[in-house]
Structure 1
């Protein structure tokens, strides 16, 4: 029979599992290791104004996802005000409204940002050219300034750089000084660029510095070549490029703050930088599931904690399959060691080993007595289950009385599995002798300990919980191990006399 379909299935599982995992790491920035730290910024904006005792509407520009930063959470505080978030192609805005307000007013907006390694320019619609007529003599001055910068440039970027430098203090000519007496620098530069056929607009940015308070936005000139090729220019120095700590707050070419029904409005910013575990930093975006972002994080916390343990079971199954098929270790029950390993996670390894040995030893003694009663199988197993419950209860009470609170955790042992383990070991003792009981019992304990060490590893717990594609990889590995038909490692002892000869 051809094994091609089998290997195709295994290959497909590996490709899908690795692909899903890499996608979550690259696109969603889920870290591979549990201890990885990420930098986040908490920025708070305070809008102050004086209300005039009439209806008030406040429009405030909001930042969006951009190169180097990703929005995690945002909150507002505005007692008595209605709030709406508006979104269009140009920008995001928050709009507060109230029927009547008087006196000093304060509105709060806070945002938490994740610093990312994404350096790609995001596509932004190119602004339309806005040409307006100049009054005399400013039309002549504007034309001469444009002509001078144009002669020293080769493309929109070099033209913008030369034009801005012509307005700097050291290169400022008569025409530039004349224009600056009538117009503000930022809108003036945008107007001159538009007149020369260069798509540009003024944007507002916030320089992020840890622990700074009462900061204001700074103007920047954004020059476009197309939707994906644009650059920022400092309108004072003419330097091209975006600083790493610059957060673009308003990119639509609109006013940052507009207040109707109030006066003396202003907005100030405070910021704080923090380092926190990467998994916690991106948890909010992990909850927004798509088909390729299938995540446990969208479940309630109680179910998340449950699945964090359930998703470890395939790791234990892989350990059992490897030890039984490749090494040849015998166990009492196929996957009983996995359940015992889960109990060890709850009880700690030493407490779990002592509790397991005590329960099985006492259970075997009582089961040996029950064998003389010639009970039917169902009744005998039921009696063993009740016995196991009584043993666990007795040990818990005794450990609590002597001050060993760790003994209370043996209640996490799977009672039904322990009962069947005692039943099978008892039958094995009668049929094969105590040696076989020690072999299978010892093999079960060794397998359970190794499964516990694998399942309790912080890196494995992190990977299995945050990358569900790992389950497909584990399935592929188990299928490959199940296809093995060679000698087991422990079976090679049979060939030892041959090497001696």
Structure 2
């Protein structure tokens, strides 16, 4: 008989290694055990992509700076072969990359860290130079003058003037506004009208900070000089945005990105929120330090946001193993509930449950008809997959038409897994009966709900993402559960008659 001593030693080593890595990360880098102990830091990454024309290349990107509510604590660039420098001017900060020769697809990363700091204040740079009065075509100029005169009557100073002007631009019944917006966007029209009225203003690029967002574009807004500072306006609403997670990235009023020596340039922004100690927040961001710092924070933010979800899946696997091995709960498929729970995270719980029941229920009806055609397995599964796609499409369109925007997220469901689930439950229906289908289907749904509750717990999210060593502990627990050969909790009811006789 093979000795299990090496196995248990391996389990012990996994637990020790996981705890050691987590403790070292907590002590050496100041990462807290709970999300409530720290200050919030935003990691933002600009990903620049372009095609180099086989000649010298120069890339210039508007760079953010410390501003009201945010303190810039770190910035770095990842651009192999390029020289990089940071330049400050009257128009703001810029990061510039240059190389003597480049050819083919190029990717440049620019990363920044901002500490959420209510006491942070920026020194406003007053406008310089004279206002360049824009020109309009004949009908457009008449419309512009009418809009400016109306805003002037209803305002008292530059801020209220801007508010009234944008309010009119957003009035669907204003013919003057419609005429101007035929050939320009709202922020462009706002800028031209303010300049035409002789008021100092500029267009800025703003980013809405949301944890885990990837490939986000910048949003253009307007700023007006009130004599002391720049006041931000949203041209779509006419309001002064006060959202705490609104960061002004580009204040240059020149351009967000300039590429000389390349073409087809694009820029995307990714972001992630981290909880760090006050001491760590003022230092460089966490960097990989060999095997003793198994940190995913050194990856590009787009990949980090993806890993934030992936790191939760072992927790779901642990719950499935416990419920199947210890409790004896039946599920349709081994880890199908984990994937369904991941979909619930994207769709929210109630929307996900309703979508799951509608898709599986409708799929079973379609599958029952296909079973009468005596199709081969491959053809039948393929037909079920197509049916599931059509079901999801129909439900999504119907939800949109009814104004149920939450129903649009039903597309996050794993279609292949759902198709196999429908196939397995249909075969089970034919072989074991309706009761077994409801037991396994209900068990799968109950397990998925428990996994969803664990995945959306802020403490679980914090620990799994910031302490990768805990994954080794989870693995050790799963391996230990795999050695259990005793009675399952659900099987103990068989002994109830014996207890009653005693």
TM-score bin, normalised by smaller chain = 0.5 to 0.7
Distance 2:40 2:386 in 1: 55
Residue 343 (structure 1) aligned with residue 340 (structure 2)? no
1:279 is aligned, of 269, 276, 279, to 276
Aligned position for 1:397:
397
1:210-247 CA-partner distances (Å, limit 9, x unpaired) = 99x9xxxxxxxxxxxxxxxxxxxxxxxxxxxxxxxxxx
Q: How does 1:366-381 map to 2 (within 5 A)?
A: 366-381=366-381
Aligned position for 1:4:
5
Superposed displacement of residue 381, structure 1: 0.3
Distance 1:294 1:5 in 2: 25
Quickly say closer, same or farther: Cα 1:433–1:37, change in 2 above 3 A: same
Quickly say closer, same or farther: Cα 1:296–1:490, change in 2 above 3 A: same
Where does structure 2 lack aligned partners over 5 or more consecutive residues?
A: 42-71, 77-85, 91-112, 124-272
Aligned position for 1:138:
none
Quickly say closer, same or farther: Cα 1:36–1:396, change in 2 above 3 A: same
Larger radius of gyration: 1
Residue 409 (structure 1) aligned with residue 409 (structure 2)? yes
Quickly say closer, same or farther: Cα 1:479–1:32, change in 2 above 3 A: same
1:379-410 CA-partner distances (Å, limit 9, x unpaired) = 00000000000000000000000000000101
Distance 1:422 1:404 in 2: 26
Q: How does 1:239-278 map to 2 (within 5 A)?
A: 278=275
Q: Which moved more, 1:292-301 or 1:351-360?
A: 292-301
Superposed displacement of residue 290, structure 1: 3.3
Q: How does 1:303-318 map to 2 (within 5 A)?
A: 303-318=303-318
Superposed displacement of residue 37, structure 1: 2.6
Aligned position for 2:243:
none
Q: CA RMSD in A?
A: 3.0
Quickly say closer, same or farther: Cα 1:277–1:314, change in 2 above 3 A: closer
1:290-329 CA-partner distances (Å, limit 9, x unpaired) = 3312211111111011111111110000000000000000
1:5-25 CA-partner distances (Å, limit 9, x unpaired) = 011000000000000000000
Quickly say closer, same or farther: Cα 1:19–1:395, change in 2 above 3 A: same
SS at match of 2:484: coil
User: Is the 1:316–1:451 Cα contact (8 Å) retained in structure 2?
Assistant: yes
User: Is the 1:36–1:277 Cα contact (8 Å) retained in structure 2?
Assistant: no
Aligned position for 2:500:
500
Distance 2:19 2:288 in 1: 21
1:415-448 CA-partner distances (Å, limit 9, x unpaired) = 0000000000000000000000001001101111
SS at match of 2:285: helix
Aligned position for 1:156:
none
Distance 1:452 1:377 in 2: 32
Superposed displacement of residue 277, structure 1: 6.7
1:42-100 CA-partner distances (Å, limit 9, x unpaired) = xxxxxxxxxxxxxxxxxxxxxxxxxxxxx9548987669xxxxxxxxxxxxxxxxxxxx
Distance 2:40 2:383 in 1: 59
Quickly say closer, same or farther: Cα 1:26–1:366, change in 2 above 3 A: same
TM, length-normalised to structure 1:
0.53
Aligned residue-pair number: 286
Distance 1:390 1:291 in 2: 47
Aligned position for 2:290:
290
User: Is the 2:17–2:472 Cα contact (8 Å) retained in structure 1?
Assistant: yes
Distance 2:446 2:395 in 1: 24
Aligned position for 1:444:
444
Distance 1:401 1:467 in 2: 44
Quickly say closer, same or farther: Cα 1:495–1:5, change in 2 above 3 A: same
Residue 36 (structure 1) aligned with residue 37 (structure 2)? yes
Superposed displacement of residue 38, structure 1: 4.2
User: Is the 1:30–1:279 Cα contact (8 Å) retained in structure 2?
Assistant: yes
SS at match of 1:285: coil
Quickly say closer, same or farther: Cα 1:446–1:77, change in 2 above 3 A: same
Q: How does 1:52-131 map to 2 (within 5 A)?
A: 73=74
Where does structure 1 lack aligned partners over 5 or more consecutive residues?
A: 41-70, 81-110, 115-208, 214-275
User: Is the 1:73–1:113 Cα contact (8 Å) retained in structure 2?
Assistant: no
Superposed displacement of residue 280, structure 1: 8.0
1:247-273 CA-partner distances (Å, limit 9, x unpaired) = xxxxxxxxxxxxxxxxxxxxxxxxxxx
TM, length-normalised to structure 2:
0.53
Aligned position for 1:199:
none
1:456-501 CA-partner distances (Å, limit 9, x unpaired) = 1111111111110011000100011001111100000000001111
Aligned position for 2:158:
none
Distance 1:484 1:467 in 2: 28
Distance 1:6 1:13 in 2: 11
Distance 1:488 1:332 in 2: 18
Superposed displacement of residue 34, structure 1: 1.4
1:100-125 CA-partner distances (Å, limit 9, x unpaired) = xxxxxxxxxxx9999xxxxxxxxxxx
Distance 2:73 2:467 in 1: 20
Distance 2:14 2:333 in 1: 28
User: Is the 1:74–1:112 Cα contact (8 Å) retained in structure 2?
Assistant: no
Aligned position for 2:324:
324
Distance 2:305 2:434 in 1: 41
